[in-house]
Amino acid sequence: MLVAAAVCPHPPLLVPQVAGAAAPELDDLRAACAAAVGSLLDARADVLAVVGGADAAASFPGNAAGTLRPWGPDVRVGPGDPVLPLSLTIGHWLLERAHASGGDLPALRFEAVGFDASPAECAALGRRLADSAGRVALLVLGDGSARRTEKAPGYIHPGAVPYDEMLAGALASGDAGRLLGLDPDEARELWAAGRAALQVLGGAAREAPPPAASELLYDDAPYGVGYFAARWAW
């Protein structure tokens, strides 16, 4: 049963060692992500599943490792050889940071969902995760549109801001149905890499009652990419 969920973005620059001198630019986002992840640890879940987009679907154990070496310094999380994709590496880093601040980590699992996974596949994965233990928390790593401004990776698109406003509204209100209804073709056009991961959250929450509490902690596009931090609780 799903008892808590959090959404965070996964830019490498979220990690101060990667951002270097620019690290202060994302201090507000780091604080929002810390609050969102902290709420998952407070939920006393039996299992905390970390979900993020990747080129291909894959499941990883709770001790799986990741590295940010392709984006700069060799910042590592977890023991052993790095196998986690970027999204799950950032999720692991956020959890290690929360754990270092005094939170207790439940049993972890990492799930990569293909960027091009169908809505039905995403919903089915979400349902499996929600049913995997008596108390399940979900950390979802997903960005909004990367076409918000002229300096964005995908240049500017007139539909980018309305799309991200829709995502922000869904996260603020705990609207799982709106997440389930995301159109893969529209997301691809707008370079919204978090679509599949967000639909996993929609699938996990679809059969649950509306969250007792939902809060959007961050909504901005500091580098032309929509970043959100949010938390839901039941």
Helix, strand, coil percentages (3-state) for the chain, rounded to 5, are 40, 25, 35
Count of alpha carbons within 13 angstroms of residue 74, beta-carbon side: 2
Instruction: Kindly report the pTM of this predicted structure.
Output: 0.96
List, for residues 84-97, the tens digit of each pLDDT value: 999 999 999 999 99
What was the pLDDT predicted at 132?
97
> 54-91: string of b/e by CB count within 10 Å (b at 16+)?
beebbebebebbbbbeeeeeebbbbeeebbbbbbbbbb
Q: How confident is the model at residue 5 (pLDDT cuts 50, 70, 90)?
A: very high
pLDDT exceeds 90 at position 143? yes
Any idea what the Cα angle at residue 116 is, between residues 121 and 80, rounded to 5°? 90
148-154 average pLDDT score: 94
- Residue 178: pLDDT over 80: yes
Q: What local confidence, expressed as pLDDT, does residue 17 receive? A: 96
Out of 96-100, 141-145, 146-150, 173-177, least confident range: 96-100
DSSP assigned state of 81: S
pLDDT, average across residues 24-44: 97
pLDDT band at 100 (very low <50, low <70, confident <90, very high): confident
Looking at domain 2-233, which of 3.40.830.10, 3.30.70.520, 3.30.230.10, 3.40.920.10 is its CATH number?
3.40.830.10
Where in the chain are the domains? 2-233
